A and B are shown apart, each in its own frame.
Chain A
Amino acid sequence: MNIHIKGGRLLDPANGLDVAKDVYVCGADVASIGEAPAGFNADRTIDASGLIVCPGLVDLAARLREPGQEYRATLDSETVAAVAGGITSLACPPDTEPPLDEPGLVEMLKYRARSRNLVQVYPVGALTQAFEGRKLTEMSELGEAGCVAFSQGDAPLPDARVLLRAMQYAATIGYPVWLRPQDPNLAAGGVAHDGEVATRLGLPTIPAVAETAAVSTILLLVRETGARVHLCRLSSADAIDMVRQAKSIGLDVSCDVSVNHVHLCDLDIAYFDSNCHLIPPLRGQRDRDAIRAGLLDGTIDAICSDHTPLDDDDKQLPFAEAEPGATGLELLLPLALKWVNETGVSLVDALACLTTAPARLLGLSVGRLDAGARADMCIFDPAMRWRVDSSQLRSQGYNTPFTGHELEGKVLYTIVGGQIVYE
């Protein structure tokens, strides 16, 4: 199909472009920008005046809940939610039931996701069998089945010896290791940041040192092994500082944050709002400021949704007993725009954290919008206001700390491989 996207504001972070230009899509690819290619006949013209046209978002962490947790969400519901959020590629963590530690599970997931023909799904494989932290998974086999990286998800990190060997092995066969840094002993039993809020509410804590102790170990092991490591969901100012220093001495590490942590801090827990029970815990205002600073100076590479669909039964419990996590696929873009509006960061730079940077971390050529690029695109109205509530969200999980908030920015069209998959 030939699509003419007319009159929009084109944002291409990969090329630093923010211009008013038309986009012409031929088949699966972008045929040209600005001028129609010779002999172009549009089958479909999209009037994008007043709208922003950008590469489709690439989300580094979205739980689709298959296999094993279909009562919480399904590929059907979540792939629709993804494209409704303008997301065209996503990585799903291995924390399914069972975890993605066998090639057959990964192949099935890839097959079932492909048959939906919506968002591109890139599974992250389990780093150790059954997340037990003892035996390595068959990373070569899992890689051939479609895994793009290996991770413990939110399961406890293995001890330092197993971690060292897992990193050596992954480096041998050329895969990155994605780790959410948290010392399992220092975090044991905790549910909230060790700050004034947890002190007042009497909640068991996960101190920031649980994160920095793990970052410190991981960075030393990166130096030792030369493995490519991506640190997932950093939450503390000190950990971000450590990554900043590591990058400054040339260590090959990258990191991301969840979009929730760009906006919220432990004060938002208020009177035990279990929607604010997240992993990692929401930390102090100083930490949230450090996350924003880290995004600005490039220490933090990407922002992800950390999408975790849960049902009401998971959340309507005392804070510590509630399941951690929040829905995010459809909030990723509007919450990034909220960050733009609040801080004055440029839209191109903000979108880079949602498109070009995560695409690079996944080793994908998407996340750009120039002639010859794959036509994965998102077209959104940056000014459209909407209120977050369950009736507005397509994800089966609608619990989020932002319930009831009014946000700006709504996706109107999502195009994957030249096909309009959402409008």
Chain B
Amino acid sequence: MNRDPQIDSNGKLVHLLSIEGIPRDILISILDTARSFVSVTEREIKKVPLLRGKSVFNLFFEPSTRTRTTFEIAAKRLSADVINLNVGSSSQSKGETLLDTVANLSAMHADMFVVRHSQSGAANLIASNVAPNIHVINAGDGSHAHPTQALLDIFTIRHYKKEFAGLRVAIVGDILHSRVARSQIHALTTLGVSEVRVIAPATLLPSHLSQLGVQVFRNMTEGLRDVDVVIMLRLQNERMNGDLLPSAQEYFKNYGLTPEKLAVADPDAIVMHPGPMNRGVEIDSSVADGRQSVILPQVTFGIAVRMAVMSILAGQSQ
């Protein structure tokens, strides 16, 4: 396991496990492919036959409606057969190991696994143990990575801002537990964004973040000054009052995105959120629904980006 399992010896992407380690040209080609799928999703007949006859298994060891649904829609628009498995409620609770579950599903001739798991590294483990013709997409593993979310985020940024160079991007919230933030940081630094900032209290920051090429801010107003993109992260309920934070109210006071705080950013700054939002905890409704919010377009682009990833992995891009 000393080689990045998502890239084969010819430099081809065979799984999507993490943004880290994916070269810039592959990221750009995913974005370009996704752009071509946006028009597909806007057509009367929203289907292309690129994955006809392929079986995509949505393997969700952790409950998620939204991400699973977007993968399902993406696979169906590529004409794949989609099988949804909420493993958390079936075999795992009967004591079957992760790799046994995967081996059983592989025997049903799966072509692609979309995996969501509560443990960091679960998708890597699966990718390292499947037959070479099976592709694995990480739909979120522990606090490690959520690469398709980061891809749709950079797709959205590119859509509104055109170029990555020169941009200032701030990511605000629970970085410590966020697989989304880690993937976004790798995507933004790989694409050459000028400044990636993270804004959070020390209790929600991993210790060695600056080594990932980001600037760390504790104060939100300082961190948001002149940024072009604001990405808000969801704060999980269980982290709102305890030894990480005293209360949701105090968090909102210091780190919630309000029109006043947003006013220090560039006037054309866009506001993003991976969803689902906690209104009044990390974001004020007037911002979430306001002029600068691109939160709903993110969701739309998410389908096209996931179509792009699936078709590229299957070697069937347009």
Contacts and interface: CB of A to CB of B under 8 A. Distances in A.
A316 B1 CA distance: 12
Contacts of A201: 120-121, 144
Nearest to B177: A202
B119 A316 contact: no
What size tier do the contact residues of chain A reach? Answer: 20 to 34
Contacts of B141: 202, 318
A271 B124 contact: yes
A270 B142 contact: no
Given A200-B212, A316-B125, A270 B145 contact: no
Given A200-B212, A202-B182, A318 B121 contact: yes
A196 B208 contact: yes
B125 A318 contact: yes
A318 B2 contact: no
Contact of B1 (A200, A207, A273, A313): A273
B316 interface: no
- Of A202, A203, A320, chain B has the most CB atoms within 10 Å of the CB of A202
Contacts, number: 81
A317 B119 CA distance: 9
B1 A199 contact: no
B99 interface: yes
A199 B208 contact: yes
A271 B98 contact: no
Interface in A254-279: 270-274
A347 interface: no
A272 B121 contact: yes
B234 interface: no
Contacts of B122: 318
Contact of A319 (B4, B120, B129): B120
Interface in B180-235: 182, 206-209, 211-212
B39 to A, nearest CB: 35
B97 A313 contact: yes
User: What are the nearest 7 A-B pairs in CB distance?
Assistant: A202-B143, A272-B121, A318-B119, A202-B144, A199-B206, A196-B208, A199-B208
**Chain A binding surface SS class:** loop
Contact of A199 (B97, B128, B207): B207
B68 interface: no
- Of A204, A273, A318, A320, chain B has the most CB atoms within 10 Å of the CB of A318
A99 B165 CA distance: 60
A318 B61 CA distance: 13
22 contacts: A195-B207, A199-B211, A199-B212, A201-B121, A201-B144, A202-B145, A202-B182, A203-B143, A204-B143, A271-B3, A271-B121, A271-B128, A274-B125, A313-B97, A316-B125, A318-B119, A318-B125, A319-B119, A319-B120, A319-B121, A320-B120, A320-B142
Given A199-B208, A318-B120, A272 B1 contact: yes
B179 interface: yes
Contacts of A319: 119-121
Contacts of A272: 1, 120-121, 124-125
Contacts of B182: 200, 202
A194 interface: yes
A202 B120 contact: yes
B175 to A, nearest CB: 9
A198 interface: yes
B5 interface: yes
B20 interface: yes
A205 interface: yes
Interface in A166-202: 194-196, 198-202
- Of B97, B145, B182, B206, chain A has the most CB atoms within 10 Å of the CB of B206
B116 interface: no
Contacts of A316: 97, 99, 125, 129
**Chain B binding surface SS class:** loop
Given A271-B4, A272-B120, A198 B125 contact: no
Contacts of B3: 271
B139 to A, nearest CB: 15
Interface in A315-338: 316-321
Interface of B: 1-5, 20, 97-99, 117, 119-122, 124-125, 128-129, 141-145, 179, 182, 206-209, 211-212
Interface in A297-327: 313, 316-321
A251 to B, nearest CB: 31
Interface string A278-305: 0000000000000000000000000000
Nearest to A316: B99
Contacts of B145: 202
A317 B98 contact: yes
- Of A194, A195, A196, chain B has the most CB atoms within 10 Å of the CB of A196
- Of B120, B128, B182, B206, chain A has the most CB atoms within 10 Å of the CB of B120
Contacts of A196: 208, 211-212
Given A200-B182, A270-B2, A316-B125, 17 more contacts: A196-B208, A199-B207, A199-B208, A199-B211, A201-B120, A202-B143, A202-B179, A204-B143, A271-B3, A271-B128, A272-B121, A317-B97, A317-B125, A318-B119, A318-B141, A319-B119, A319-B121
Contact of B120 (A194, A203, A207, A270): A203
Contacts of B1: 270-273
B2 A321 contact: no
A103 B204 CA distance: 48
A320 B143 CA distance: 12
Contact of B209 (A199, A203, A317, A320): A199
A157 to B, nearest CB: 21
A200 B206 CA distance: 9
B236 to A, nearest CB: 14
Given A202-B145, A270-B1, A318 B211 contact: no
Contacts of A320: 119-121, 142
B208 A195 contact: yes
A200 B20 contact: yes
Contacts of A195: 207-208
B99 to A, nearest CB: 6
A203 to B, nearest CB: 5
A148 B120 CA distance: 40
B142 A202 contact: yes
Interface string A223-241: 0000000000000000000
